[in-house]
Structure 1
Amino acid sequence: MCGIAGWVDYDCDLNGARPIVQAMTDTMALRGPDAQGIWIDRHAALGHRRLAVIDLEGGVQPMCAAEDNRAIACLTYSGEVYNFVELRDALRKRGHAFRTKSDTEVVLHAYLEWGDACAEHFVGMFAFAIWDVREQQLVLIRDRFGVKPLFYQPFGHGVLFGSEPKAILAHPDVRARVGLDGLRQVLTAGRLPGCAIYDGMHEVKPGYVVRVSRGGITERRYWKLEAREHTDSLVVTIETVRAHLDRIVQQQTVSDVPLCSLLSGGLDSSAITALADRVMRRRAHSPVRSYSVDFPDRGMAFVPDPLRGTSDTPFVHEFVKEVHTHHTEVVLEPEQLGDSGVRRAVVDALDANWNVGSDLYPSLYLLFDALRKHSTVALSGEAADEVFGGYQWFHLPEAINAPQLPWLRDFPGLGHVLSKDLVEALRLPEYQADMYAQLTAATPSLPGENSTEKRMRELCFLALTSWLPVLLDRKDRMSMAVGLEVRVPFCDHELAQYVFNTPWSMKTFDGREKSLLRAACDDVLPEAILKRTKSPYPATQDPGYERLLQRQMAARLANPSPMMQQTFDLNALRGISGNPVGKVSISNDRIDLDQALVLIDWLERYDVERV
């Protein structure tokens, strides 16, 4: 995994711009701590920071292909193509010769063979840029679900691009400007494909190719979820899901550096960890390393909340007892979660605030930082809920029937503590309704589908295309901020496409959530985990965390900055920061305090210009 950056301008000789390109590339240092490189060819400059995972000696970038000792194409690449060995064999049969064992070189030669259609041959997570010297054009390509990020901004007679906005913002002539649409994105839990927070900036959409030439910028979609008739029986469907999972885990446990698995004691992470353990025992004759997160209980028993009915810890212990992974439990104190340095690192990693949950982002960051001391690659159970239908709102009639993004019931946002003028200008309900309308209109459907199946397909599509990107971005930014590569097996496009088309009645055939996944993995999991209901990523219940946030907000309110006064209703903030804290606290006040603090920190530290 790596970080990429670059600049193309048809009116400039970029050989004299190396210091600027170096500054852009340097912003990606945490994503790629192992090596760095810059390649410039008059109108194109490519930068790369490397996290070495495959072929540690051979995968140096930017990587060029040459004919007659002259470069014909140059690649800067982030990600993993899991089927690179099979592709390398196919390309050799077509006459290609390889100097390394890296997937990077396979990606480059695949482009030489198939042009931008190379993306259709890749199985994996990736975001890369190729400067085609012959055509004098830049090609930007992103994986099908957008697991790896890639941003670009038209600039001069060309573009700037990078794995994160900070690479583009490092150019001295680019300002951190945010308009109302950008703020609406900041304050809404959900995504519209292609949109970026900063004015003038865009994301390469998942499953898209963007071409930059002298004639301008064009984009082409190379993959999308499609509605197809599902004719397999239930037994065959379960067998097919398991076959996909076995293939995926076999592919995604290939690494030349230490690998581990994230374990929450839930169905998703437990299934991946158990399957990975089987592979590692066969391949390396040792158990897989597993990691979980927990919080000190201070002598207080876990208290169920609206999202979490059970504590993870007993289920993690049950799993480890039965499967015998090499397990480490990372225990996080409230002081760590509220530490100003940690929170600043999280905001820097995001190039923005966080708008989902309370301590989830710093918790993930600290968990990843702990396991990075022993591993460079981690497997995650992310995306199973979106693929298999695991969330509560998939199963609640009031959520199913509501014409809105269903997860907004759990993440209502900060509207009630913003300034009156800003609330009126943002018109968040209208923006969110428009998001919902655009996404539902894009949902594929089958002729003759009954209303229930059509609606549930719609909700699955919303989850995969608007909610999942929020979680993938969180996972990517928090992991890459410590130089850790996190792989997400459930984002395999063949698995996702197959399950997307299984009828909802089949996805819930046993009357529970994620029935297909449970049935496909029932031979590798403890009974307790098979019976456990969905529980999201854990949050600390220690009231000390909320009291810490209250103190931080009180310090802010004692001397509010002009930006803070412009953004918030200060009386509303005083109200929530002065409310009493319960013995066990994951309150709405706590979530509001957390998100308000990081919002103002981002706006001030990035010197955001409101437009």
Structure 2
Amino acid sequence: MCGITGWVAFDADLHAELEAINAMTDTMACRGPDDEGTWVRGHAALGHRRLSIIDVAGGRQPMVEETADGPVALVYSGETYNFTELRNELASRGHYFETHSDTEVVLRAYLEWGSASAERLNGMYAFAVWDARIQRLVMIRDRMGVKPLYYYETEDGVLFGSEPKAILANPLAERVVGLNGLRDMFSQSKSPTVAVWEGMREVEPGCVVTTHRGGLQATRYWSLPTREHTDSRDATVAHVRELLEDIVARQLVSDVPRCTLLSGGLDSSVITEIAAGRQARVGETIRTFSVEYAGQTERFVADTARDAPDTPFAHEVSAHAGTEHQDILLDPDALTDIDVRTAVVRSRDIPQGLGDMDTSMYLLFRDLRAHSTVALSGESADEIFGGYREFFSREALQARSFPWLTEVTPMRGLDVETLDPGLQATLALPEYARDTYDSAVASVPRLADDDDHEYRMRQLSHLYLTRFLRLLLDRKDRLSMAVGLEVRVPFCDHRLVEYVYNAPWPLKVYDGREKSLLRGAVGDLLPDSVLNRRKAPYPSTQDPAYVTKLRGICRDYVVGSAHPVVDLVDRNWLAGAVVEDGPVRPSTRRSLERTIDLAIWLDIYNPTLKI
């Protein structure tokens, strides 16, 4: 896992721009604390920061193959889980390998198959190849978008990087956010290619972006396929289990310590049980980590989202699987520490966070990084297997809206009503969200045999997998890489995603509950209490001291200093929200969190807002 960046300028010799490429590369130090490297040749400059996972001694980057017609240079971030098979195939085709790294496999795969090599990779990756033989830059991103990659067109080429901050470190990139950037930031809709910063784009998941003298071209090598599912229930359940066993086995491969993230929910428990069983066969015990808020288990109060605290379930799974478990205990002081919140906003480059759920995840990752370099996560099972309550909500099924915006959930972030009234009118967020939704559902293919209900469920699944999941994956990548931790997501293996997506909805809920296929596939692995546990989101603190401290920060940092953020929020709302002893609704709490994040973002980046 690494951070990559680069600059291609077809009308310039970039040897004179070493200071700029070094500055771009330095912004990726958190993603790659183990090594750094830059490479400049003519019109191309590449930068790399390395987090060593496979072949720690080898695999340095940028990795270059000098050919008779010019160099081919690669910067690569991520993991290719089928690199052993690809290496054997390439060796049979005459390729010679100098390292044991998957990076070299990817480079030689490009030399053999060009950009079509992406179709052969199984993994999470984002990489760029400067091919001097044909004066072309090729940028490629994995199918599900687990690893980020951004680019910014210039007059004579392009800038790129794993994160926007790498691009923004170049003087050619202007720190401007326009109306559509603000709309996407506040709407929680994750529009394709939009990167919030004006002029900047994301390489879409499953896409290849090629830059040459004639301009820039984006092509798609993978999209979520729609096909008929003919397997029986028993065959489907068995195949899901087979895939999970293979995926976890592949993703456990590492030359550095690894662990699992264990919440005690179904998804993380599945990954933990399979991983623990595999490691036990070779005489190893896997470590597991959970986040716990001080006093949460003892003072827990059930609500519509959570009916029980996580910790007892996590401990039960750990005991059942035989893991070495550790709770990372957090209190309101840690969750509201302004330096920590600043690190979280800086890691994401935009104030699109989830308050204490982001801060706690960052602190969890920071603390467990002292023990492990790789962690396996249960992220994305709900999107794949149909775990969210919106899949069963009449309101969500009938709404002309993204399902995660139809009910009161933590993902709603800053409520529109808390924005400045004039800004509300200018942004027209309800209309923007509706137009974005209409465009998204219009692209969902329909099988001839899909009745209206089946097609509607296919639409919801498609929206979660191609829009909502990208928000979660981006969050997890940024918060983990901010502390040099690689988080792998087994449920995002494209083979599993394709297979389960195309299973008919009645098969996905064959026993009348959410995620029936997953429960059926792993029923023999888990304690009954966990197997039958109701879905609960990532934990959020219930300590009233947390809200008190939020109010204090807003009162001192925002209101007391007349911070520029007050021009973006409703001043009347803010004045009432910071009152010491007034009641706080969940939506108000989220808006206080987002207002603080927005203020921190303005301080860090000083963007020009074109409103």
TM-score (ref. length: structure 2): 0.97
Shift of 1:558: 3.8
CA distance in 1, matches of 2:437, 2:566: 31
Residue number in structure 1 paired with 2:398: 401
CA distance in 2, matches of 1:239, 1:562: 57
Residue number in structure 1 paired with 2:355: 358
Residue number in structure 1 paired with 2:139: 140
CA distance in 2, matches of 1:8, 1:97: 29
CA distance in 1, matches of 2:597, 2:558: 14
Distance 1:539 1:6, change over 3 A: same
Shift of 1:399: 1.6
Q: Which stretches in structure 1 are left out of the alignment for 5+ residues?
A: none
Residue number in structure 2 paired with 1:541: 542
Residue number in structure 1 paired with 2:23: 23
DSSP 3-state at the match of 2:210: strand
DSSP 3-state at the match of 1:227: coil
Distance 1:562 1:552, change over 3 A: closer
Q: Can you list the C-alpha shifts for 1:101-158, whole angstroms capped at 9, x where unaligned?
A: 0000000000011100000000000000000010110000000011000000001200
Residue number in structure 1 paired with 2:244: 245
| 1:233 aligned onto 2:235 | no
Residue number in structure 1 paired with 2:47: 47
Residue number in structure 2 paired with 1:589: 588
CA distance in 2, matches of 1:300, 1:32: 39
Aligned with residue 378 of structure 1, among 375, 380, 384? 375
| 1:323 aligned onto 2:321 | yes
DSSP 3-state at the match of 1:139: strand
Residue number in structure 2 paired with 1:110: 109
Q: Can you list the C-alpha shifts for 1:294-316, whole angstroms capped at 9, x where unaligned?
A: 11117853111222122101111
Shift of 1:608: 0.9
CA distance in 2, matches of 1:480, 1:374: 15
Instruction: Name whichever of 321-330 and 503-512 sits farther off.
Output: 321-330
CA distance in 1, matches of 2:160, 2:293: 39
Residue number in structure 2 paired with 1:491: 492
Residues 444, 459 of structure 2: 8 Å contact kept: yes
Shift of 1:579: 6.4
CA distance in 2, matches of 1:502, 1:401: 22
Q: Structure 2 counterpart of 1:385, which letter?
A: D
Shift of 1:173: 3.0
Shift of 1:95: 0.9
Q: Structure 1 counterpart of 2:278, which letter?
A: V
DSSP 3-state at the match of 2:299: coil
Q: Structure 2 counterpart of 1:306, which letter?
A: T
Shift of 1:557: 4.4
Residues 577, 589 of structure 1: 8 Å contact kept: no
Residue number in structure 1 paired with 2:258: 259
Shift of 1:524: 1.0
CA distance in 1, matches of 2:261, 2:24: 32
Q: Can you list the C-alpha shifts for 1:465-509, whole angstroms capped at 9, x where unaligned?
A: 110000000100000000000000000000000000000000000
CA distance in 1, matches of 2:105, 2:296: 53
| 1:426 aligned onto 2:427 | yes
CA distance in 2, matches of 1:300, 1:319: 20
DSSP 3-state at the match of 1:279: helix
CA distance in 2, matches of 1:82, 1:309: 37
Shift of 1:226: 1.2
Shift of 1:562: 6.0
Shift of 1:23: 0.2
Residues 183, 432 of structure 2: 8 Å contact kept: yes
Distance 1:526 1:478, change over 3 A: same
Q: Can you list the C-alpha shifts for 1:79-107, whole angstroms capped at 9, x where unaligned?
A: 00000000000001111110000000000
Distance 1:234 1:418, change over 3 A: same
CA distance in 1, matches of 2:167, 2:496: 34
CA distance in 1, matches of 2:426, 2:350: 20
Residues 192, 466 of structure 1: 8 Å contact kept: yes
Residue number in structure 2 paired with 1:464: 465
DSSP 3-state at the match of 1:223: coil
DSSP 3-state at the match of 1:446: coil
Shift of 1:71: 4.8
Instruction: Give runs of aligned pairs for residues 6-405 of structure 1, distance below 5 A.
Output: 6-67=6-67, 71-283=70-282, 285-297=283-295, 300-355=298-353, 357-405=354-402
Instruction: Name whichever of 243-252 and 390-399 sits farther off.
Output: 390-399
Q: Can you list the C-alpha shifts for 1:376-406, whole angstroms capped at 9, x where unaligned?
A: 0000000000000001111111222211101
CA distance in 2, matches of 1:232, 1:586: 47
Shift of 1:586: 7.4
Shift of 1:286: 1.4
Distance 1:71 1:525, change over 3 A: farther
DSSP 3-state at the match of 2:144: coil
TM-score (ref. length: structure 1): 0.97
Shift of 1:318: 1.3
Distance 1:58 1:299, change over 3 A: closer
CA distance in 1, matches of 2:563, 2:581: 28
Distance 1:579 1:395, change over 3 A: farther
CA distance in 1, matches of 2:237, 2:580: 50
Residues 540, 586 of structure 1: 8 Å contact kept: no
Shift of 1:281: 1.4
Distance 1:574 1:551, change over 3 A: same
Q: Can you list the C-alpha shifts for 1:208-246, whole angstroms capped at 9, x where unaligned?
A: 000000000001100011110000000000000000001
Q: Which stretches in structure 2 are left out of the alignment for 5+ residues?
A: none
Aligned residue pairs: how many?
606
Residues 296, 309 of structure 2: 8 Å contact kept: no
DSSP 3-state at the match of 1:66: strand
Residues 353, 602 of structure 1: 8 Å contact kept: yes
Instruction: Name whichever of 573-582 and 451-460 sits farther off.
Output: 573-582
DSSP 3-state at the match of 1:290: strand
CA distance in 2, matches of 1:496, 1:46: 33
DSSP 3-state at the match of 2:383: helix
CA distance in 2, matches of 1:302, 1:448: 47
| 1:481 aligned onto 2:491 | no
Residues 277, 321 of structure 2: 8 Å contact kept: no
Q: Structure 2 counterpart of 1:5, which letter?
A: T
CA distance in 1, matches of 2:355, 2:32: 28
Residue number in structure 2 paired with 1:552: 553
Q: Structure 1 counterpart of 2:472, which letter?
A: L
Q: Structure 2 counterpart of 1:505, which letter?
A: P
Distance 1:299 1:275, change over 3 A: closer
DSSP 3-state at the match of 1:78: strand
CA distance in 1, matches of 2:521, 2:581: 47
